[in-house]
Amino acid sequence: MSAYRLLFFCFAILSFSLGLEAEPTPAKRSATRETRATPEEPGITFNSVHVDGPYIAMTFDDGPSATLTPKLLDLLAAHHIKATFFVIGENVAEHPEIVARAAQEGHEIANHSWSHPNFGKMSDENVRRQLQQTDDAIKNATGKRPTLLRPPYGSITAREKRWIHDEFGYDIILWDVDPYDWKRPGPAVVRARILKETRPGSIVLSHDIHPGTIEAMPSTFDELEAKGFKFVTVSELIRMAAARPSHARPPPTTTNR
């Protein structure tokens, strides 16, 4: 019996030792849980904004265009609409007078990179160079530095969002209405898609470098106005943000029993 007991005791010690080696340390488990549970910082990225009222933001990317952007500015002025232009730095450097006009007429000018690369596939230093060159070009044209960034293709990592926000102070602006006007489906399709998808608080994406987009805008603006929508810049929309209804359990109330 003693031999059996000794054999069993040795086996138990061996099993316990192997179990200790297989068990990850508590510090590593805790770090993994914290990394997964850390939410993205609030107030950095906006696809749309929860607002009390029929407010929307029209945004135009990739300009300025020497011929199309002035036509759009004329149209916006006729409708008393303020829009947000996410400009390409190379185009700003080539046509600073158009950007200056847009800013003077109350439109918001924002950063859309220098040459429209994919930030999600670039080094931090190359992204930083794209942003700084465009930031400088906008400052030279308008006298003000931008406060908003729309990454080309909407491609940006969570880590990039954080350091760009910390270093440049930019809010990251995406969209919730996309008419895919860059595919040039025709003015009627662009208009129909915008009208179908737009809701209060929407950020509407389009491009002021495509003729069909500019052709679609007069009737699009007319019909959006007929629906009761009011137009503001993206920064104005963000400042209008209303608190969403809380789904948290209400505090207990005192009752007489």
Which residues are catalytic, by number? 61, 207
Cα–Cα distance list, 92 to 71, 111, 112, 126, 173 (Å) = 17, 10, 11, 19, 19
First to last CA, the chain: 68
* Residue 240 DSSP one-character state: T
In contact, 62 and 56? CB cutoff 8 Å: no
DSSP secondary structure string for all residues of 168-218: H-PEEE--SB---GGG---HHHHHHHHHHH--TTBEEEEETT-HHHHHHHH
CA distance 47 to 40: 14
Its sign, for the CA torsion 246, 249, 253, 257, is positive
Nearest partner of 127 among 151, 94, 146, judged by Cα:
151
CA distance 108 to 87: 10
In contact, 60 and 86? CB cutoff 8 Å: yes
Cα torsion through 175, 179, 183, 184, rounded to 10: -130
Q: For residue 26, say if its preceding peptide bond is cis, omega within 30 degrees of 0.
A: no
